[in-house]
Structure 1
Amino acid sequence: VLKNPGAKHSLGVGILNKLNLIIEGSLGYFGVGSIDGPVVRISGRVGWSCAENMMAGKVVIEKNAGSCFGAAVRGGDLICKGSVGARSGIDMKGGTIIIGGNAGAFTGFMMQRGRIIILGDVGPNLGDSLYDGTIFVGGKIKSLGADAVEAEMTDLDRFWLKRKLKVAEIDKKIDYSKMTKIVSGKKLWNYDNLEPTERKGAI
């Protein structure tokens, strides 16, 4: 147990073992980054770039998170029960990010793999330059980014969401029939091979 962290930066980084870490308070920037295996529970808030480059494990934040939440995550479950800032899941390469509240602009920017679940509303340019992966939104979407398109929800999607949200420990009633699924339109997959006039339409 880590008590009174005082919102200091770079706490709990580089933990490569399976262990339980309870943080009673809030973290500053770059908290619990580059971890591979631990289960971390944070009772307060976190600043920018929480759990950046996370490889495996589980992180649960009880309150809100800053921008770049879960940047370049590769595996594990990253959960914020409150709202998060802009560019959450930027350059994401695997794992799952679950947001109980709202998310800011450019969520899922340049996302390559993995899944993001947002139970609230999300800001403009959702999934901009999305290469692969899936984003599920329970609330309103201000706008979609370049090459992000809506897709049909399947029974398998709903089954996965119900199972994964149990892991998230978010005590919230969810109407899965109203959730929106966002995937890549794949127009940018071969962007370098497009003619100059075609590139304008792709973006």
Structure 2
Amino acid sequence: MAEIARGEIDAQELRARDLGLHDERLKGRSIQKFFDIDLDAPSHGFALPNAFDVDFNKRAEIEASNMPAQQVNLRVRELMADGYGTIVIKNPGAKHSIAVGILNRLNLIIEGSLGYFGCGLLDGPNVRISGRVGWSCAENMMSGTVFIEKNAGSQFGAAIRGGDLVCKGNVGSRTGIDMKGGTIIVGGDTGAFTGFMMQRGRMVICRNAGKNLGDSMYDGTIYIGGEPASLGVDAVWGEMTDFDRAWLARKLKMYDLLPKGGVDHFRKIVGGKQLWNYDNLEPTEKKLVL
């Protein structure tokens, strides 16, 4: 029985490696309780202790054309406190910092475009935006989904830690900078330094990328269907596996972004790991890496 159990563990480790998952051991690190794990709770567990109990069938609308961003965000919280689980923000007028800091289950529909820092610090909501978004959309997102119908600005998904962040159109430079987890999907092109200092997670670029793709990436995986202008420091081509292709096909199909020809043309970029021990390299070796 011990041999069988060990064989199952080995198989799981191999599968995790093929999927590009990190195998860092967390032994000895402190664990802090952030979530209510009472499965009998109205939130069905794994929700923040102060989360509102909302009903997705209960719908409300906010006419934001003449409201400042702070008032819009306050109104969203008031409606969640009243149990509204579906909220529509109409005519946001590209205001900055709309729909930030929502730590709750919520179906949020934004009819229009957002300015800078929209949907930042999210943990739980599902957001759909019919227009465009400015710089740093979904910065530090923890969980949930954000789906943008049009284009996005630079630093899209900066320091994202979880959830799915999807843009059907093109995005600017430094997409996924300092990415620590989750998934970023770009239906069009992305700008220079995409994936800069990436640490964890997966990024999918359906078309082309600008210069220095994956520059200084520590870990994680980038999939690209087109061509990068160039790869960045310590970014190297990886080998596509059946697991990669299956994951890509499933994920892109979820958001209606699966190419007609499938995903066989996608390629994989990973960290070369030459910078992991950069301080220990000799001067001549540092020149070779850079």
Same fold at TM > 0.5: yes
Cα distance in 2 between the residues matched to 1:189 and 1:167: 35
Structure 2 residues not aligned, in runs of 5+: 1-87
Shift of 1:202: 1.2
CA offsets, 1:23-70, max 9 Å, x none?
A: 000000000000000000000000000000000000000000000000
Q: Residue 97 of structure 1 aligns to a residue in which SS?
A: strand
Aligned to 1:67: 154
1:123-162 matched pairs, under 5 angstroms = 123-162=210-249
Q: Cα RMSD between the aligned structures?
A: 0.9
Aligned to 1:177: 264
The answer to whether the aligner puts 1:89 opposite 2:167 as a matched pair is no
CA offsets, 1:93-118, max 9 Å, x none?
A: 00000000000000000000000000
Aligned to 1:202: 289
Name the larger-Rg structure: 2
Cα distance in 1 between the residues matched to 2:244 and 2:157: 22
Shift of 1:182: 0.2
Aligned to 2:135: 48
Tell whether the 8 Å contact from 1:88 to 1:104 is kept in structure 2 after alignment.
yes
1:37 to 124, 128, 136: 124
Tell whether the 8 Å contact from 1:98 to 1:168 is kept in structure 2 after alignment.
no
Cα distance in 1 between the residues matched to 2:285 and 2:261: 41
Tell whether the 8 Å contact from 1:92 to 1:112 is kept in structure 2 after alignment.
yes
Higher relative contact order (CA 8 A, sep 6+): 1
The answer to whether the aligner puts 1:192 opposite 2:279 as a matched pair is yes
Cα distance in 1 between the residues matched to 2:140 and 2:222: 19
Q: Residue 108 of structure 1 aligns to a residue in which SS?
A: coil
Specify the code of the residue in structure 2 equivalent to 1:75.
Answer: G
Q: TM-score, normalised by structure 2?
A: 0.69
Q: TM-score, normalised by structure 1?
A: 0.98
Structure 1 residues not aligned, in runs of 5+: none
Higher fraction of helix: 2
Give the total of aligned pairs.
203
Specify the code of the residue in structure 2 equivalent to 1:101.
Answer: G
